[in-house]
Amino acid sequence: MRRALSVLLLTLALAHLASASGEPYDVQAYLWVRLTVANNSTSPYPLKPLFLDLPLNDTYQRSRLINVTVKLNGAEARCNTRLADGECGTRYLEVQCPWPLPARGVLEVTAVSEVYVKRFKAPELSLEASGLVSDISPELKPYTRAEGPWRYDQTGMAYLAEAAREIAGGEANILAIVTRLVEWLWKKVEYETGPPRYPNETLPPALIGEGRGKGDCDDQANLLILMLRSLGIPSYLKLGLVTDFDYRDERVSWTPGSRFYWSFLGIDYGHGWAEVYVPPWGWLPVDLTYNLGKENPLNAIITSAVSDHWKWYSTVTVRVGSICHADYIGEWRAAYAESLLSPLFYYTQYAIVRKGDSIERVVGFFRPLPLPWVKRTTLTVEYPSKAKVFETVKVTGLLEPPPPNATLLIEIRSPSGRKTIETVKADSAGRWSFAVAPYEAGAWLFNVTFPGLPGYASCSREFTIYAEKLPSSIALEVAAGNRSLLVQARLNPPLDTALSLLLTLPNGTVRVFTLPAGGGYLYAELPAAEPGEYKLDVFWQGSEAYDSAHANSRIYVRAPTRLAVNSSLTDRALVVSGMLEPRIANATLTIVAESPSGALNAQTVTDAEGRFSLELRLSGGTWVVWVLYNGSELYLPSSAKLTVEVETQRAAELQQGLLFALCLLSALIAAVALRRIGSRRRPREPPTSEY
């Protein structure tokens, strides 16, 4: 917001107010203000009194002036000062110098005030508890007059009073009227900055029915004040500085060639809002442009710029003025018109400094003022928006107009915050260049500054080059060892670093290892006692210059097995039996028997305990018997060997049979022989006669 009195009213003073220390204030800070007046003439020019607003002393704020300096062309100067009170508690200092400002002379007035601020805490608001228009005390009637910017009795503004009556609709409840007007104005006016406007300029008659007006914070506040006053509700305009203590950016309000220049540090510009009397709560801030949102008209009060809602954002509003009756818009326009006939230029700088911080440090962030007789300079820069880490980047630029022997300061801030400053000379045509090789990835911030020379104003240019990380990779090899995993990993780039290994066991358990990789190379043996599938992920978190890398591998680890085998001979059969360890159920075993006379293949399956048994019928001879387990995804193969002499056992059987046969044959022969002998010795009987 443009503060009307600040356009002409530039000040300083030497006075002390009562200290506010010891009271429960939310914020303690210093308000630093400097007014600079420059005479852009080749002749001395008389100075009118200068005015500077001081922080208010009211229910929510206490302040005291602690330091004032006046300098002419850098040297101390003597001027008369007077502390004065304005309307509605406004305080200012009047400064009058008894001599004209020399040609190309510069007068600086600096004032520092200590400020103690309490944030507004909204009461429990409700329409039922609100007072009526008839409850307004006669003592407050001056705040309902048609005066200053709020001349609702004039023909050019009467239509706004008529609109207020239509919106109020005969309502007597003050809070209800306020909320209706707030809702209506939010719909009818959009925010736009500019010189201060009267209410009928913010919302002209042609837009009262259809369309939308335009205005900034004080313009919209004045429109509300006019409509409220026309309904008999006391209200006036309050001015302040919305403070955020952010010193990264200097906020400047200025048009080149303009006679007035404002800049702010730690302050998010000036602000204006309406103060409205609503019984039984008294004066309440109604803020149309700085609030939480438009879904609830009470937000204009509860979350106004001065409220404690913003304490979480470290935001506080320092009150610097009240306008209750004066036509500050008319004064501003008259002063502006007069300034165009004068060679004087006015520069006002504000800084808010939290107590405990250094005022000198904060004030040092201000840029030099663009004095009118000093040539304004500009910097153009050509640079790549992106580059790879370690890549040499060339930045070129042009300083115009080219001062002789100009030196530029190059401030380079790395992504990690490291700051370096270099210098570069511009040639006679204003051309300059420098090269840089970013050594870490991220946004590299550059500030090229021409600090100025006699007759040439300073200028600067900020830009960013984003350095992209280089790629990295991991080559990974994993092999199964004896109840372990053999891991080899090679990182590119070959840096001395550490790698993170995540080993997922077959049962789902994850084990984490962090191991050194000298020169990017890692060798490790990881325990893998449990058979099954293992997953290995290898990570490198990357560095300031290289992207992170990841590699993974899956591998099966198989447990060793052993066959315990024995054999026995039965009637013309060989029984091979034993156990597969560990005790694997339903494992298929192959049995191969070989001899000079032939070969035999057979298969069997282990039982639930890993046992097996198989009967082989073999011919005589020497037999070599192999029992084979081919393994599986979880188990390694194994084998066992037997040698069996089958022929030795068959020969004994044949010999026993042959002996038995010989014995039997001998017995038969003996029996036949005895029979023949007995028949040979029997006597003959005489023949039988039939006569």
> pLDDT of 465-482, one tens digit each?
999 999 999 999 999 888
Q: Assess whether the region 473-557 and the region 562-648 belong to the same CATH fold.
A: yes
Q: How many CA atoms lie within 13 A of 179 on its CB side?
A: 16
**Residues 6+ away with beta carbon under 8 Å from 309:** 292, 302, 303
Q: Is the pLDDT of residue 665 over 70?
A: no
| Per-residue pLDDT reduced to its tens digit, 496-534 | 999 999 999 999 999 999 999 999 999 999 999 888 899
> Both tokens of residue 242?
């919305």
Helices within 41-142 (DSSP H only): none
- What integer is the mean pLDDT of 58-66? 93
Instruction: Tell me what percent of the residues of the chain surpass a pLDDT of 70.
Output: 90
Q: Hey, what CATH class is 562-648 in?
A: mainly beta
What sign has the CA pseudo-torsion 22, 25, 27, 32?
negative
The DSSP output letter for 101 is B
Task: Identify the pLDDT of residue 151.
Answer: 97
Structurally, what CATH architecture does the domain formed by 473-557 represent?
A: Sandwich (2.60)
| Per-residue pLDDT reduced to its tens digit, 148-200 | 999 999 999 999 999 999 999 999 999 999 999 999 999 999 999 989 999 99
Helices within 146-204 (DSSP H only): 158-168, 174-188, 199-202
Q: Say which range, 130-144, 205-219, 242-256, 430-444, has the weakest mean pLDDT.
A: 242-256
DSSP codes, 300-332: HHHT-TTBGGGGGGT-EEEEEEEESS--HHHHH
Q: Is the pLDDT of residue 667 over 70?
A: no
Q: Say which range, 21-30, 411-420, 451-460, has the weakest mean pLDDT.
A: 21-30
Residues listed for the chain: 691
Q: How many CA atoms lie within 13 A of 70 on its CB side?
A: 15
Please state the pTM of the whole predicted model. 0.61
- What integer is the mean pLDDT of 317-333? 95
Edge-to-edge strands, sheet with 459-468? 386-388, 459-468, 442-450, 407-413, 419-425
Query: Buried b vs exposed e over 242-263: b needs ≥16 C-beta within 10 Å?
Result: bbebebeeeeebeeeeebbbbb
Confidence class for position 660, pLDDT limits 50, 70, 90: low
Which 3 state secondary structure label does DSSP give 649? Answer: helix
Which 3 state secondary structure label does DSSP give 156? Answer: coil
- What integer is the mean pLDDT of 322-336? 94
Q: Say which range, 365-369, 595-599, 657-661, has the weakest mean pLDDT.
A: 657-661
Q: Is the pLDDT of residue 676 over 70?
A: no
Residue 38's DSSP bridge partners are 106, 345
> Both tokens of residue 252?
């400047």
Confidence class for position 689, pLDDT limits 50, 70, 90: very low
Amino acid at residue number 409: L
Q: Is the pLDDT of residue 125 over 70?
A: yes
Which 3 state secondary structure label does DSSP give 656? Answer: helix
Q: Please report how the helices 174-188 and 217-230 are oriented relative to each other, as an axis angle in degrees rounded to 10.
A: 140
Instruction: Tell me what percent of the residues of the chain surpass a pLDDT of 90.
Output: 73
Segments making up each domain of the chain, as ranges:
378-468, 473-557, 562-648
Task: Identify the pLDDT of residue 145.
Answer: 97
Q: Does residue 657 or residue 96 have the better pLDDT? A: 96
Q: Is the pLDDT of residue 595 over 80?
A: yes
Nearest by Cα to 225 from 161, 313, 316: 161
- What integer is the mean pLDDT of 447-451? 94
Which homologous superfamily is 378-468 in? Answer: Immunoglobulins (2.60.40.10)
Q: How far is the CA of 373 from the CAs of 39, 290, 343, 488, in angstroms?
A: 9, 39, 11, 72
Task: Identify the pLDDT of residue 663.
Answer: 61
Q: How far is the CA of 552 from the CAs of 474, 482, 647, in angstroms?
A: 9, 21, 59
Task: Identify the pLDDT of residue 632.
Answer: 87
